[in-house]
Amino acid sequence: MCGGNPLSASSLRNLALSLVTGSIILLDQLTKQQIMRTMRLHESIPIIPNLFSLTYIRNPGAAFGLLAGSSNAFRMVFFGLTSIFALGLLGTILLRMPEQDWVGRISVAGILGGAIGNLIDRLRYGEVIDFLDFYVENYHWPAFNVADSAITVGVIFLIIHFAFEKRMEPSTESESSSVP
């Protein structure tokens, strides 16, 4: 044989999933670094008046600031253990998902990328860097970041995918119980 072994279809699919996860991690970390380099903590730059600003904050808690008032030691142990559990669970789901289930696998790869992005922040800074701030006048949605967006979009796509997948599968029970 003259050429090397071509990549198998399975290897190409896994490479694509790795690229999705890695791209999300990279984009998340690059955007956070840019915000930290160019803005002061709590600085806000309006992008769309009365709707969206870039606002540099640090969130020591979970989603929506949950557990932000807890001690640093408790948060580090809690988030460390939950992150390990979540990453293990996502990895297991990804490995057990059928290779032909592209929507499901890409959704999980996105969630995984987001989870790793926020875990990197927790390990480096003890908190997560957030900067996407949506609001209407004085009513603000909690600020978030690229990793949070990837997790949210991945979960939404996964829920929709599983809802439609279950609806489209033929019922095997009714088919096997009917007599010709």
- Annotated catalytic residues are 130, 148
Q: What are phi and psi of 59, to 5 degrees?
A: -110, 110
Angle at 87 between CA 85 and CA 73, to 5 degrees: 55
Token pair of 147 as six digits: 């990793």
**Strands 52-59 and 128-136, how do they pair?**
antiparallel
Can you say whether residue 137 is alpha, beta or left, with left for phi > 0 and alpha for psi between -120 and 50 degrees?
left
How many CA atoms lie less than 13 Å away from 173 in the CB half-sphere? Answer: 0
**Alpha helices, H only, 6-101:** 9-38, 72-96
* Closest C-alpha among 105, 95, 109, 99 to residue 8: 99
Residue 117 and residue 100 in contact, taking contact as beta carbons nearer than 8 Å? no
Instruction: In whole angstroms, give the CA distance from residue 84 to residue 72.
Output: 18
